Structure 1
Amino acid sequence: RTLVFKLNNGEVEWIYVTPVEMNTEWVLIDHEEINPGDTLAVDKHFSISHQQKVIPLMAN
């Protein structure tokens, strides 16, 4: 299953999603818990757990 982490006030929650479309650069997600402007971790998050406190490092 495809998993993303959503940042909420310094804490992450995991959300299972089903991509609508995807290619090598982009993924289109339509999920009721994900809104435009939300901060998501979609890669290199293998050691994060649900409801873990984090200090995000944003990549360009």
Structure 2
Amino acid sequence: MAQKTGAMKILRDYFGYKPGQALKDFSEELKQLSEAEKRELTELAAKELGVEVDWGPLQ
């Protein structure tokens, strides 16, 4: 069974930060996406990382 990981961590691990970007900036970028977009990106990233999504609150 794959490890369960939170959606925010999956997105951060997969996409990483841009040069000079902090967690707050990354979170602001995610807030600009719709819930459907966040879910789709998270599911695709989780598949690539080989983890299962823990669908707690997405910040």
| TM-score, reference length from structure 1 | 0.27
Q: Which structure's residues are more often strand, by fraction?
A: 1
Q: Which has the higher contact order (CA 8 A, sep 6+)?
A: 2
| TM-score, reference length from structure 2 | 0.27
